[in-house]
Chain A
Amino acid sequence: MNSGRVFAGCGTALSITDGTPASGREVSVVGRDSIRLMTELKERPSVHMGPQKILEVRDLWLKFGGNIVLTDLSFTLSRGEILGLIGPNGAGKTSVLNSITMFYRPRQGKILFKGKDIIGEKTHRIAQLGIARTFQNIELFSGLTVLQNLMVGRHVRMNAGAVSSSIFFGKACREEIAHREVVEDIINLLEMEAIRDKRVGSLPYGQRKRVDFGRALAMEPDLLLLDEPLAGMNVEEKEDMVRFIMDVFELKQMSIVLVEHDMGVVMDIVNRLVVLDFGRKIAEGVPREIKHNAAVIQAYLGSKST
């Protein structure tokens, strides 16, 4: 992985094929100039043609020896929907995300991504299939710059082999430029131009969270798992972050699972909510219903003592 220098004039690759034989999808590069961006959006057919379930969790159990983390959990996420996953601390929300990305191995139940069961897949396969996540504790490479970290996110879409990479000029160069263009669009979207060349380790927490989000976007996923993206931010930073999430949602009709504690934000932006408590789903529905749900209120605030 070189330092991201771009050789101008090597030509511009416009689309990159995902080389996996199974899918053979063509993934086009994120927006080039404003006209193309707008026509892309206008031409995009309504993604909600029938409730296409992009993620289906069925009867999921997660145990570590005697410690039962998730009990009989089921929920679904349709394409182009934001699902909020909320619950008190320790309810198992991050464990759900870890299970979906196969960081943990549930022994019981099914997780269907685009209709296919992914339980038992290796984590790098999950990334290739089109699932990206952000981390509560920001797992970035602190010695690399922002730009380099985002380029790492492009890894799943890189095709040049060892030989063409070592020669670089030609195929690998063209590919690098195309990836760089995608990454620059993300930097533009997340307003990170000023910190583009700064080492991530030297950035404040709020900016690192943004880079983490940018890296997940760089993978061009079909499903985005956000683990407390607003934690530890002040009001201004939160406003910016929510704006970026909504921009991404609008621009790419992205399907998002959002784990978050800021109720104000969650209630405002999600389509549906799933509430967990002690690893169990205690409520599911639209924000309006959840707000007044007795079980949810009890889980957060406790019951009235008699």
Chain B
Amino acid sequence: MAEPQTLPQFFLHNCRQYGESRIAMRVKDRGIWKSYTWQECYERVKRIGLFLRKMGLAPGDRVALLGENKPEIYWAEMATQAMGGSSVGIFSDCGSQEVKFFVNHSGATFIFAHDQEQVDKVLDVKAEMPQLKKAVYWDPKGLWSYDDPLLVSFDEALVEGREYEKDHPGLFEEMVQRGKPEDIAVIIFTSGTTGKPKAAMLSQGALVSAARGFVEVDGYGPDDNYLSFVPVAWITEQLIGVAGSIFSGFVVNFPENAETVNDNIRELGARILFFSPRQWESINRMIQSKILATSWIKRTVYRFFIPIAMNVSDKRLNRERIPAGLKGLHWLGQWLLLRSLRDNLGLSFLRVGYTAGSAISPDILRFFQSIGVNIKQIYGSSEMGLVTAHRDGDIRPETSGKPLPGVTIRLSDEGEILVRNPGMFVGYYMDEKAYQEKFRDGWYCSGDYGHMDEEGHLIVIDRMEDLRSLGNGRKFSPQYPEVRLRFSPYIKEVLVVGDEVHSDPCCLVNIDLDNVGRWAEANRIAYTTFADLSQKSEVVELIRGEIRHLNKTLPEEARLVRFLNMVKEFDADEAELTRTRKLRRSFLEERYADMIEGLYSGQDEVEVSATIEYRDGRKGTMTRRVKICTL
């Protein structure tokens, strides 16, 4: 057999090599971890692939994947690629209109829809997706009486695939061999912070080279465990989960459902994990809130040893000498606190935890490093692929790491980061013009503003388009204070505003309901709703304290001047955040223009009405007086 070059070829190679002897996947089903060997996965992937072919999937066609992370979604993706097709991931919390957009824009002819909820979305807009041949589901709950001819269950598809194999033996292997590195493996829709999402196409070769780069940097093997819960619609899951697992053979584990992820991590003792910055933040928030709620002894131990741990960790990251006394205290801290803390989080066996997707607060990175969690930043995007990553022993909290093998970085005159990467995307589907616009003299324009430091680490500050110029032309990045403010357990989300006209940086804060609520209870402050709590004068003072704390670390001109607590949280369902939880800045600034005006009006309060969209589609309005506070 020829040297494997595409993911399906690597997959076949692994199945031949490991067969029954190694486990490829595990899923927690009905309380028990069920495992599938490489051979069992091979059988399923082969049969689904042949089913798709039987139903008319031709090389180059697209198959949409809509559902939570389960083995079936991985098998569907592998089967699609094995037959020469491209898989298109759709976020499972999209509404039916969004699903229609993604399916039609990518021209998908098949869709794999997890369960009744997803199937309902598909059937809702079925008439407007005439090119769909079949919709395959794998969780039958609630679907027993559905008889739409479009629907096929995963098990039925397996049976049909097996029948087809009898008439066409060896066809699967043949199609896999025909695969070439130039074939489009996946189509990833960009998050669409501005305008409609675009469909970035990634080739087999790009995925393989990215996986190879990873393995070079962090060295995975078949014994490692990875928990897959990040949607396959994200580039990182494709690279680390799909490509990574196939290239290096580690075991992919699937959680029971979204709520059990933390428990499942603990049960598995995962070695490799990927969390978005928000998720790391929320783990940190959870730790802080649990410490607030725990007994006096535990709180004291925590408060004593954490600064020691951070001290030691900072010195290690800066490659400074650690005095013996400090080492001793740190050792004590490991036994009294840090080990159980890691164990509680399920991170005892973690070899490497990645963070990517947007900027992370350096304090979060330092915090996790100090408690012994090897958290590393990677920088990249759907279009650029993976550009930089921290190496073990070379982690600096403020940076995004050094460029990966094969990648070159340059800075434009305006400070934009330009990239050359063999693992880059090969185009936007159906949008050649947009693709060409991204390049200047052969360099990809990332749209991010940053610089390199003396040691060759890349520092990413913000999106170019989000940079503001304040009053006298000073450049200002809203993301910089936002990311750092979110380190506070009491602040869940924050939007920083300021431009030439309004030259004082101000911010709109979403308090964290859980933590602020707990704080209020502990301080005997009664409250009713989120809106009520956010406007309590004590809470306003609390947030003022947090922002003041941050202001001390900011340069004079970037310090925040005024803030207000929002009476309603930013919501992805209302298009205020992208599905990956990034702020849609221009949309928000427009929507909350009255509040922003209020911030700059010099008043103490502003009256605002907000329209809310309920889950069933009805709309309502809320009017409130919002307090404005000066720092």
Question: Per-residue CB proximity of A173-186 to B under 8 Å, as 1/0?
Answer: 00000001100110
Contacting pair A189 B141 (CB below 8 A): yes
Contact of B141 among A41, A180, A188 (CB under 8 A): A188
Contacting pair A194 B259 (CB below 8 A): yes
Number of A-B contacts (CB under 8 A): 50
Contacting pair A34 B256 (CB below 8 A): no
Question: Per-residue CB proximity of B604-631 to A under 8 Å, as 1/0?
Answer: 0000000000011000000000000000
Q: B153 an interface residue at 8 Å Cβ cutoff?
A: yes
Contacting pair A243 B142 (CB below 8 A): yes
Chain A residue with the shortest CB-CB distance to B155: A35
Q: A37 an interface residue at 8 Å Cβ cutoff?
A: yes
Contacting pair A38 B32 (CB below 8 A): no
Q: A216 an interface residue at 8 Å Cβ cutoff?
A: no
Query: CA A250 – CA B116 in complex, angstroms?
Result: 14
Chain A residues within 8 Å of B263, by CB: 194
Contacting pair A193 B153 (CB below 8 A): no
Q: How far is the CB of A148 from chain B (nearest CB, A)?
A: 13
Q: B130 an interface residue at 8 Å Cβ cutoff?
A: no
Q: How far is the CB of A227 from chain B (nearest CB, A)?
A: 24
Q: A68 an interface residue at 8 Å Cβ cutoff?
A: no
Give residues 226-280 of A contacting B (CB, 8 Å): 235-236, 243, 247, 250-251
Q: How far is the CB of B35 from chain A (nearest CB, A)?
A: 12
Chain B residues within 8 Å of A247, by CB: 141-142
Contacting pair B155 A34 (CB below 8 A): yes
Q: B300 an interface residue at 8 Å Cβ cutoff?
A: no
Q: How far is the CB of A256 from chain B (nearest CB, A)?
A: 17
Q: A114 an interface residue at 8 Å Cβ cutoff?
A: no
Query: CA A38 – CA B263 in complex, angstroms?
Result: 31
Query: CA A33 – CA B158 in complex, angstroms?
Result: 14
Give residues 131-169 of B contacting A (CB, 8 Å): 138-142, 144-145, 153-155
Chain A residues within 8 Å of B139, by CB: 34
Query: CA A8 – CA B33 in complex, angstroms?
Result: 11
Chain A residue with the shortest CB-CB distance to B261: A194
Query: CA A244 – CA B155 in complex, angstroms?
Result: 24
Chain A residues within 8 Å of B552, by CB: none
Contacting pair B145 A250 (CB below 8 A): yes
Q: A196 an interface residue at 8 Å Cβ cutoff?
A: yes
Q: How far is the CB of A225 from chain B (nearest CB, A)?
A: 23
Contact of B30 among A37, A187, A236, A243 (CB under 8 A): A187
Q: A47 an interface residue at 8 Å Cβ cutoff?
A: no
Chain B residues within 8 Å of A34, by CB: 138-140, 153-155
Contacting pair A191 B257 (CB below 8 A): yes
- Contacts known (A184-B31, A236-B615); A250 close to B155, Cβ less than 8 A: no
Chain B residues within 8 Å of A191, by CB: 257
Interface of A is mostly: helix
Query: CA A4 – CA B287 in complex, angstroms?
Result: 30
- Contacts known (A6-B32, A188-B30); A250 close to B144, Cβ less than 8 A: yes
Give the one of A194, A236, A251 with max B CB within 10 A.
A194
Q: How far is the CB of A102 from chain B (nearest CB, A)?
A: 34
Interface of B is mostly: loop
Query: CA A37 – CA B153 in complex, angstroms?
Result: 12
Q: How far is the CB of A183 from chain B (nearest CB, A)?
A: 9
Contact of A181 among B30, B144, B155, B615 (CB under 8 A): B30
Q: B260 an interface residue at 8 Å Cβ cutoff?
A: yes
Give the one of B138, B141, B259 with max A CB within 10 A.
B141
Query: CA A193 – CA B139 in complex, angstroms?
Result: 15
Chain B residues within 8 Å of A193, by CB: 31, 256-257, 259-260
Contacting pair A41 B31 (CB below 8 A): no
Give residues 249-298 of B contacting A (CB, 8 Å): 256-257, 259-260, 263
- Contacts known (A34-B155, A236-B615, A247-B141); A8 close to B260, Cβ less than 8 A: no
Chain A residue with the shortest CB-CB distance to B153: A34
Give residues 97-150 of B contacting A (CB, 8 Å): 138-142, 144-145
Chain A residue with the shortest CB-CB distance to B140: A34
Chain B residues within 8 Å of A37, by CB: 140, 144
Chain B residues within 8 Å of A187, by CB: 30-31
Query: CA A34 – CA B144 in complex, angstroms?
Result: 10
- Contacts known (A250-B144, A250-B145); A8 close to B32, Cβ less than 8 A: yes
Chain A residue with the shortest CB-CB distance to B30: A184
Question: Per-residue CB proximity of A190-219 to B under 8 Å, as 1/0?
Answer: 010110100000000000000000000000
Query: CA A185 – CA B140 in complex, angstroms?
Result: 13
Chain A residues within 8 Å of B32, by CB: 6, 8, 184
Chain A residues within 8 Å of B155, by CB: 33-35
Chain B residues within 8 Å of A185, by CB: 30
Chain A residue with the shortest CB-CB distance to B33: A8
Contacting pair A194 B142 (CB below 8 A): no
Q: How far is the CB of A11 from chain B (nearest CB, A)?
A: 15
Q: How far is the CB of B183 from chain A (nearest CB, A)?
A: 32
Query: CA A33 – CA B140 in complex, angstroms?
Result: 9
Chain A residue with the shortest CB-CB distance to B138: A34
Contacting pair B30 A41 (CB below 8 A): no
Query: CA A251 – CA B256 in complex, angstroms?
Result: 22
Contacting pair A38 B257 (CB below 8 A): no
Query: CA A219 – CA B259 in complex, angstroms?
Result: 27
Query: CA A224 – CA B142 in complex, angstroms?
Result: 19
Chain A residue with the shortest CB-CB distance to B159: A35
Chain B residue with the shortest CB-CB distance to A32: B30
Q: How far is the CB of B600 from chain A (nearest CB, A)?
A: 38
Query: CA A120 – CA B238 in complex, angstroms?
Result: 65
Q: How far is the CB of A95 from chain B (nearest CB, A)?
A: 34
Chain B residues within 8 Å of A33, by CB: 155
Contacting pair B142 A38 (CB below 8 A): no
Chain A residues within 8 Å of B615, by CB: 235-236
Contact of B31 among A35, A196, A250, A251 (CB under 8 A): A196
Chain B residues within 8 Å of A235, by CB: 615-616
Chain A residues within 8 Å of B142, by CB: 243, 247, 250
Q: How far is the CB of B258 from chain A (nearest CB, A)?
A: 9
Give residues 1-25 of A contacting B (CB, 8 Å): 6, 8
Contacting pair B145 A38 (CB below 8 A): no
Chain B residue with the shortest CB-CB distance to A37: B140
Query: CA A236 – CA B616 in complex, angstroms?
Result: 10
Chain B residues within 8 Å of A6, by CB: 31-32
Chain A residues within 8 Å of B256, by CB: 193-194
Chain A residue with the shortest CB-CB distance to B154: A34
Query: CA A194 – CA B263 in complex, angstroms?
Result: 8
Query: CA A187 – CA B28 in complex, angstroms?
Result: 13
Q: How far is the CB of B227 from chain A (nearest CB, A)?
A: 15
Chain A residues within 8 Å of B30, by CB: 181, 184-185, 187-188
Give residues 224-266 of B contacting A (CB, 8 Å): 256-257, 259-260, 263
Contacting pair B260 A38 (CB below 8 A): no
Q: How far is the CB of B259 from chain A (nearest CB, A)?
A: 4
Contacting pair A41 B144 (CB below 8 A): yes
Query: CA A188 – CA B256 in complex, angstroms?
Result: 10
Contacting pair A251 B144 (CB below 8 A): yes
Chain A residues within 8 Å of B153, by CB: 34, 38
Query: CA A192 – CA B260 in complex, angstroms?
Result: 10
Give the one of B140, B145, B260, B615 with max A CB within 10 A.
B140
Chain B residues within 8 Å of A181, by CB: 30
Chain B residue with the shortest CB-CB distance to A197: B263
Can you identify 29 A-B contacts, CB atoms within 8 angstroms?
A6-B31, A6-B32, A34-B138, A34-B139, A34-B153, A37-B144, A38-B140, A38-B144, A180-B31, A184-B31, A187-B30, A187-B31, A189-B141, A191-B257, A193-B256, A193-B259, A193-B260, A194-B256, A194-B257, A194-B259, A196-B31, A235-B616, A236-B615, A243-B142, A247-B141, A250-B142, A250-B144, A250-B145, A251-B144
Interface residues of B (CB under 8 A from A): 30-32, 138-142, 144-145, 153-155, 256-257, 259-260, 263, 615-616
Known: A6-B31, A184-B32. 11 other contacts (CB 8 A): A6-B32, A34-B153, A34-B154, A38-B140, A181-B30, A187-B30, A187-B31, A188-B30, A193-B257, A235-B615, A247-B142
Closest 6 pairs between A and B when the two form their complex, measured CB to CB: A194-B259, A184-B30, A34-B140, A193-B256, A35-B155, A194-B260
